[in-house]
């Protein structure tokens, strides 16, 4: 059994959905958990302390150890306060699962500057505001694990989510650098691109028939994401600088592939016309799969699972799943 006895974990956005499941599994395995959640709406409005408190009660009732944090990751002060809660209550910090986020769907041409900034402030800025003070604690300990919750919406694209996609993929860049700089200090950092049924899906899809009858929706049970996050956050995970997708019980590494391309002759000065004439070589991916969108990933999983993404005769367009 992967054991977290003696370790302390911060899980943000842990009051509901996938975040709650991450916190529960880490606590079940012996971790002392800071359950962080402001208790707001999916769009980022409001505040409800009981959301995090209920998960703490759930963990403690099962014999575990947990403390609630109601601070927002969207400010440097909030990120520091979350880390301070771990150190002050449990004396150290071993794991950060950066999961807090908001979500809304807006066509690209309609995204306002405040829409853009709010999304990046919670996801990307929040990832930084939390990870930097946590990193400093982990450096002193010579050990730490970061798991950033990214999204296929960014890596592969998703309509009406330019702001969300940019913020989520920004976390991949953040994780990559933490992985490189943290290696000398025993700190590993990886990302997970989860697809799981949650309010992010149910409140945005809206079509009850689709939600209840789609084979894919039934397949993306949120608990199927948890094993990947639990492993990556553990001592058993000895690698860093990687990205993994969890979708309907299929777990796979996600990577940016680089083809051999076309090598111009030494000493020459290629022109745009040379690029065009060698475009097949420049663009070749050979055995690599490079999805054009998040929908491609979903449909590939559906095909391998032998399930339909749509209920028969459903009068709705297939919506990309939300991570």
DSSP tag of 137: H
User: Would residue 4 show up in a list of annotated catalytic residues for this protein?
Assistant: no
User: Does residue 17 lie in a domain region?
Assistant: yes
Residue 238: how many other CB atoms lie within 10 Å: 7
User: Does residue 103 lie in a domain region?
Assistant: yes
User: Does residue 239 lie in a domain region?
Assistant: yes
Confidence of residue 181 (pLDDT cuts 50, 70, 90): very high
Could you tell me which residues come within 8 angstroms of residue 258 by beta carbon, excluding any fewer than 6 positions away? none
Confidence of residue 294 (pLDDT cuts 50, 70, 90): low
Residue 2: how many other CB atoms lie within 10 Å: 15
User: Does residue 269 lie in a domain region?
Assistant: no
What's the domain count of the chain? 1
CATH number at residue 233: 3.40.50.720
- Domain extent, residue 225, equals 8-254
Model pLDDT, residue 317: 46
Residue 110: how many other CB atoms lie within 10 Å: 8
HEC assignment per residue over 174-215: HHHHHHHHHHHHCEEEEEEEEECCCHHHHHHHCCHHHHHHCH
Torsion of CA 259, 262, 263, 267, to 10 degrees: -150
- In the chain, % helix, strand, coil (3-state, to 5) comes to 45, 15, 40
User: Does residue 89 lie in a domain region?
Assistant: yes
User: Does residue 298 lie in a domain region?
Assistant: no
Model pLDDT, residue 312: 63
Confidence of residue 76 (pLDDT cuts 50, 70, 90): very high
pLDDT, tens digit, for every residue of 146-170? 999 999 999 999 999 999 999 999 9
Model pLDDT, residue 319: 44
Q: What is the mean pLDDT of residues 72-77?
A: 98
User: Does residue 250 lie in a domain region?
Assistant: yes
pLDDT, tens digit, for every residue of 190-226? 999 999 766 566 555 556 666 566 776 778 889 999 9
Candidate list 129, 135, 143, 164, residue with the active-site label: 164
Of 297, 288, 290, whose CA–CA distance to 318 is shortest?
Answer: 297
User: Does residue 28 lie in a domain region?
Assistant: yes
Of 130, 248, 267, 257, whose CA–CA distance to 189 is shortest?
Answer: 130
Structure tokens at 132: 């930097």
Model pLDDT, residue 209: 66
């Amino acid at each position: 059994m992967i054991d977290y006895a003696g370790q302390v974990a911060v899980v943000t956005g842990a009051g509901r959905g996938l975040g709650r499941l991450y916190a529960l599994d880490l606590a079940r395995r012996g971790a002392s958990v800071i359950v962080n959640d402001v208790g707001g709406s999916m769009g980022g409005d409001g505040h409800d302390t009981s959301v995090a408190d209920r998960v703490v009660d759930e963990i403690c009732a099962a014999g575990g150890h947990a403390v609630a944090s109601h601070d927002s990751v969207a400010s440097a002060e909030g990120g520091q306060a979350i880390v301070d809660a771990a150190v002050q209550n449990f004396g150290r910090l071993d794991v950060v699962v950066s999961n807090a986020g908001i979500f809304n769907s807006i066509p690209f041409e309609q995204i306002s500057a405040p829409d853009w900034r709010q999304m990046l402030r919670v996801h990307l800025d929040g990832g930084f505001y939390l990870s930097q003070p946590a990193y400093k604690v982990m450096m002193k300990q010579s050990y730490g694990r970061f798991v950033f919750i990214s999204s296929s919406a960014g890596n592969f694209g998703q309509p009406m989510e330019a702001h969300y996609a940019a913020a989520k993929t920004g976390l991949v860049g953040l994780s990559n650098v933490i992985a490189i700089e943290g290696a000398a200090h025993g700190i590993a950092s990886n990302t997970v691109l989860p697809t799981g049924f949650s309010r992010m899906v149910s409140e945005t899809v809206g079509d009850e028939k689709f939600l209840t009858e789609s084979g894919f929706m039934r397949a993306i049970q949120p608990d199927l994401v948890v094993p990947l996050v639990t492993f990556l956050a553990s001592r058993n995970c000895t690698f860093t600088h990687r990205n993994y997708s969890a979708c309907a019980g299929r777990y796979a590494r996600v990577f940016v592939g680089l083809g051999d391309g076309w090598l111009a002759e030494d000493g020459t000065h290629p022109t745009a016309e040379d690029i065009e004439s060698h475009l097949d070589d420049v663009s070749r991916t050979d055995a690599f799969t490079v999805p054009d969108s998040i929908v491609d990933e979903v449909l590939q999983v559906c095909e391998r699972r032998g399930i339909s993404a749509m209920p028969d005769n459903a009068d709705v367009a297939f919506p990309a799943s939300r991570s």
